[in-house]
């Protein structure tokens, strides 16, 4: 295979674990992502160029969501309900693979940047802004395999570890409770690759 092709991947991290990490005001809340949000889902859509049968690289658009939860603690002893978590990103991706018949085991690496969207919350007396949007680094590593269905179409299956860094705990802007920080998650991915040459 020597031409570029589109690869559309849909994946969720709920098969392994929800996102982990802390946010909030240090010493007051230090809320955990897994307490504030449920297991997430997402997708990637990207274009790859195949250099040879062993190496290919490209760029992916990333989008992920996780449902908000009700939790209590810190400065919210009576509880707080978070809106859904949203992340969008653009990453460069690379794969090293070793074709074995219709299978093609591979390792993958994705590097780029992402934006955690602004978040609102509710303590029972109305919704209020909790944090503003934040830009974070994005890293994924994983292992998997492709399975060729036809000369043009293949399925992909892999397991990934994702990390969006740790932006620390900067002082939130006026009118906000907290600042979004980086998260980590483990997920399974299943997708389809379409060869366009």
Please choose, from the candidates 66, 52, 67, 8, the residue with its C-alpha nearest in 3D space to the C-alpha of residue 191. 8
Q: How many CB atoms lie within 10 A of CB 90?
A: 14
Tens digits of residue pLDDT in 137-180: 999 999 999 999 988 888 899 998 999 877 555 566 667 777 77
pLDDT band, very low/low/confident/very high, at 30 (cuts 50, 70, 90):
low
Tens digits of residue pLDDT in 58-92: 899 999 999 999 988 767 788 889 999 999 999 99
pLDDT band, very low/low/confident/very high, at 120 (cuts 50, 70, 90):
very high
Q: Where are the domains of the chain?
A: 4-195
**CA end-to-end distance (rounded Å), the chain:** 8
Listed range (3-17, 72-86, 129-143) with the worst mean pLDDT: 3-17
pLDDT at 2 over 50: no
More confident residue, 18 or 32: 32
CA 158 to chain centre: 14
pLDDT (0 to 100) of residue 188: 85
CATH number of 4-195, picked from 2.40.50.100, 2.40.50.140, 3.30.70.890, 2.40.160.20:
2.40.160.20
Please choose, from the candidates 170, 116, 169, the residue with its C-alpha nearest in 3D space to the C-alpha of residue 138. 116
Q: Measuring CA to CA, how many Å separate 171 from each of 22, 32, 39, 110?
A: 15, 18, 27, 30
Q: Measuring CA to CA, how many Å separate 24 from each of 51, 90, 163, 176?
A: 45, 26, 19, 10
pLDDT band, very low/low/confident/very high, at 17 (cuts 50, 70, 90):
low
């Amino acid at each position: 295979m020597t031409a570029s092709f589109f690869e559309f991947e849909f994946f969720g991290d709920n098969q392994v674990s929800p996102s982990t990490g802390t946010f909030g005001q240090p010493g007051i809340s230090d809320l955990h992502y897994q307490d504030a949000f449920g297991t997430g889902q997402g997708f990637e859509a990207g274009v790859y160029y195949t250099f040879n049968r062993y190496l290919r690289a490209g760029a992916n658009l990333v989008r992920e969501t996780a449902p908000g939860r009700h939790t209590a603690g810190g400065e919210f002893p009576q509880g707080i309900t978070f809106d859904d978590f949203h992340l969008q990103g653009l990453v460069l991706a690379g794969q090293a693979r070793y074709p074995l018949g219709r299978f093609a085991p591979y390792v993958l690496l994705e590097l780029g940047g992402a934006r955690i969207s602004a978040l609102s919350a509710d303590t029972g007396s109305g919704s209020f802004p909790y944090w503003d949007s934040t830009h974070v680094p994005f890293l994924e590593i994983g292992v998997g395999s492709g399975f060729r269905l036809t000369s043009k179409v293949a399925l992909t299956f892999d397991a990934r570890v994702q990390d969006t860094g740790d932006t620390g705990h900067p002082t939130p802007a006026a009118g906000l409770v907290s600042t979004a920080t980086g998260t980590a998650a483990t997920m399974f991915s299943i997708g389809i690759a379409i060869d366009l040459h």
